[in-house]
Structure formats: structure tokens, C-alpha cells
Structure 1
Amino acid sequence: MTDGYKVYTEAFLKRLGQWDRKPYRGHGRPPVWKYGYPDCLNYGQVVKTRQGKKLEKVEYKVMSGTIPEGWFNTSAVERMNLTIRNSMARLKRISQNFSKEIKDLEQCCDLFRAMYNFCRPHMSLSSGTIKVTPAMSLGLTDRVWSLRELMTFYYRKNIR
């Protein structure tokens, strides 16, 4: 779920897009290959139109998949964006910290993602005195990691 910012649509297609075509029925020209969203992806947009400071209308667009009526809401996405901006100086709106190269920004985002999921307990997942991270709730780990553990963890992809 995103807002109507065009860059998001392009980024989704670049990252998750795939070539596909309809099945050939045996007569006429074969269907053309098209690059688009995979069928398994549910992706929608909430597009808000404003006239000055006044909100004129809100449009809900299903870009891919099937999204039930009334399910559209960007509050979770906006909350996550705020958390990321507040945690990473490189993404703050007014800041002297910036990445000169996109590779540096990507690596910083990867580090934040790992820290957010393994090292940072979340109140919505925790109950009482037991601190729980998103990685713990998914069963990827059984404890809250320290930043030292995260940075010294030896990660190896299984190649088969």
C-alpha cells in the first residue's frame, strides 16, 4: 500500500515486476509479452487530491491482485516511514548527513532493517516483561540480539 507518488510504482515494477503473457488460444496472433506485477502481489494506492490545504477527494486504486473494499489505509506505511526517517539521519528532511552514492544509502538501509528486526523490541509484539522483536515473532531467532551480535554475525547464503 502506497500513496500516489509515481516513484513508488516504478520502484515496485523494477523490484518485483516480471514478464508475462496470456495463454495462446490457438487462433490469431499469439498474445504479446508484457512486463507487470506478479499475480500473487496485492498492491494498492491511496491517491489524495488537494485544493490548497483542503482535501478534495480520495481515490483508491488496485494496481495488482485483489484488495477488499475498506482495506485501504496508509497509516501503517506512514508510521514506518516516520520511524525510518527518525532512525536514519541520511533520510531526514533537513539534515547535513547524506549519501554521496546510492550504494552507501542501500547499505545503511540494510543495516537499519536488520537492526529493526533483530535488535529492537516492539511494544506491540511484547507482553509484560518479555521483549519481542519481529524476527522473534517470525521464529527466526529466540532472543533479542545486541548490536555487537548483529555486526559480528557470519551470514552465508546457501547455494545449491
Structure 2
Amino acid sequence: MNRMSIAERAKILGFLVEGMSLRAASRLADCSINTVTKLLVDVGSACAEYQDSTLRNLPCKRVQCDEIWSFVGAKQKNVPAEREGEFGVGDVWTWTAICADTKIIASWMVGDRGAAAANAFIADLAGRLSNRIQLTTDGHKVYVDAVERAFGSDIDYAMLVKVYGEGPSSPERKYSPSEHIGTKTVRIEGEPNPAHISTSYVERQNLTMRMSMRRFTRLSNAFSKKVDNHMHAVALHFMHYNFGRIHKTLRVTPAMEAGVSDHVWSLAEIAALVPDPAAKARGPYKKKPTCA
């Protein structure tokens, strides 16, 4: 079987991490969409595995968490009755945790927005940190129990609750957000510094995700059709963001700032995370008997 060169794979990955759809990438790379999809699956799996093992003992001191909405297959209101409640069909949420100092995405998870998902996400975050941290989340109530389970009293934790006015009433403003009229801070555990109670960085990362992954674009037909491919795209995005993209403020990548990498990763290095398959051993040639 013919395999694409590292340079060809890196070019396709470059299209994907800059927000192109699979079909657009296949047209520009002059290859089939199945090739692009297979590459996303292989590289996304490798990126998830690499970051799971590498993002450990992180020196984070201030962490912000949030959840970003998307959907797979169909919007929740259009999910068929026989698939109601099935994960990966309808609403899907991506949980993210960003370090306010190094800007590294320390942990992420694709799931629903319930308590079980919050427990799994916060437990994973806690296992990646080397220091006591100050944590800020939004007012989603499931965080309280999840943080208590994962950190106990060894954390300085506060919620930043945003207060909104009434939603848009006219058809011209149906896609505009409600008016933000204020915020309220709630201390949950420890002694969080009021000056650092913020979710600004993680909310800005939400915009980066929507700009960098076509399937997160609102009001389009670019939504994910399979939840597994959705997860692979998220893993690729964070690999490029953490290791391969120089942060404009830091002037290095978040992984370099956090001390888990010593250089800027190229797209070719990311593509090379997928090992070439081992050649299959061939048995001795046997000539087939011919008919008399």
C-alpha cells in the first residue's frame, strides 16, 4: 500500500489546524476525503496518547476551567427518539482547563455536561499538577462536588458567576448574546486571591477553538458527524496549540513555557507521532499447480 510522505501529511495537518474542513483539505491536497479522515484519526489518536503521558507534573499555579458547546450528528432538538440519550448524538461539550501563566491546556475532555463528566474531568486535571493551585470556574454547579472530590481542601477555589439581562427579542437580534450586566464571585474553598478570580483566558481559548476547528463553527453544515472524529480533531488542535504554535504574548509555545518541551514542534513532527506500520513477513513462494 502506498503511504503519504511526512511532508504531504504535514501539509494536510496544516490545513486542518488552520480551520479548514476535511473536504476543503482534500481538495487542496489533491487526495480523497477518506485519506484525510484516516490521517485525522491516526494523528488525533497519537496526539491524545502523547499528551496524556507528557502533560504531567505541570507547574501551574492559576487554572481556569470552562465548557464549550457543540453538537454531533444533529442538534439536540432534532435527535431521533430512538437515539435520545445516546452519547455522541446531539449536544456535546468540551471541558478545558488552561493555566493562566503558561497558557498550556493542562486537561480537556469531550463529554456531556453532567456531574459524572465533571468528576472525570477535574480528577484528570488534579492528577496532572505539581502544585497547589487557585482555580476559577463559571457557576456550573457540578464543579463544586467535583473539585471537592479531586482536591479536598488542598485548593483555593472560586466561582465567577456572570449575570445576564433578558435575551434578544427581535428577529434581527436572535443570534446576539444577552446583555452582560455584571459578575459575582463566590469563594468555595481556601483563600483565592480576588485579583486572580477570572475566566478570561479560558473563554478566549473557546474562541481559538471555534476559529481553529471547522466543526465548531456555528450556523453551518460543518458540524461533526461522528463523535470519535470530533475527539480526534480536538486532540490535534490542542497538540498544535500546546506544542506547535508560538503564543503571541509568551513568544514561545505553552509547552515550552511550562517546561514540557524544549522547542517549537513542526507539523512534520506531529505527523511523525504515527509510526509507520511494520512490514509483514512474507512466506516462501509456492507455485500454484497448473491444470493438465
TM-score, scaled to structure 1: 0.66
Residue 116 of structure 1 corresponds to which residue in structure 2? 241
Aligned to 2:165: 51
Hey, what does 2:267 align to over in structure 1?
A: 147
Q: Alpha-carbon deviation of 1:150?
A: 0.7
Tell me the amino acid that sits aligned with residue 262 of structure 2.
Answer: D
Q: Aligned partners of 1:85, 1:49: CA distance in 2, in Å?
A: 24
Which runs of 5 or more residues in structure 1 are unaligned? 19-34, 127-131, 156-160
Query: In structure 2, what is the Cα distance between the partners aligned to 1:95 and 1:72?
Result: 35
Matched residue, 1:95: 220
* Corresponding residue to 2:208 among 83, 88, 109: 83
- Partners of 2:214 and 2:160 lie apart in 1 by 27
Which runs of 5 or more residues in structure 2 are unaligned? 1-63, 69-111, 125-144, 167-177, 276-292
Cα distance, 1:89 vs. partner? 0.9
Letter in 1 for 2:258: L
TM-fit CA distance, 1:146? 1.2
Q: 1:4 Cα deviation (Å)?
A: 10
Contact 1:4–1:48, Cα closer than 8 Å, also in 2: no
- Please state whether the residue corresponding to 2:194 is helix, strand or coil: coil
Can you list the C-alpha shifts for 1:77-130, whole angstroms capped at 9, x where unaligned?
A: 21111111110111122222122232221111111110111111112112xxxx
Do the aligned partners of 2:158 and 2:192 also contact (CA within 8 Å) in 1? Answer: yes
CA contact (8 A) 2:160 2:186 kept: yes
Candidates 239, 257, 262, aligned match of 1:137: 257
Letter in 1 for 2:263: R
Question: Size of the alignment, in residue pairs?
Answer: 133
CA distance 1:64–1:92, change in 2 (3 Å): farther
Q: Which protein is bigger by CA-based radius of gyration?
A: 2
Q: d(CA) in 2 for partners of 1:103 and 1:114?
A: 17
Q: Map 1:58-73 onto structure 2 (within 5 A).
A: 58-73=183-198
Residue aligning to 2:121: 15
Q: Provide closer, same or farther for how the CA distance between residues 57 and 41 of structure 1 changes in structure 2, counting only shifts above 3 A.
A: same
Mark the CA change 1:149 to 1:4 in structure 2 (over 3 Å): closer, same or farther: closer
Shift of 1:44: 3.2
Alpha-carbon distance, 1:12 to partner: 2.8
- Report the TM-score, using the length of structure 2 for normalisation: 0.39
**8 Å contact from structure 2 (residues 65, 202) kept in 1:** yes
Q: Distance in 2 between matches of 1:151 and 1:124?
A: 26
- Higher helix fraction: Structure 1 or Structure 2? 2
Q: Following the alignment from structure 1 to structure 2, what is the Cα–Cα distance between the partners of residues 9 and 102? A: 17
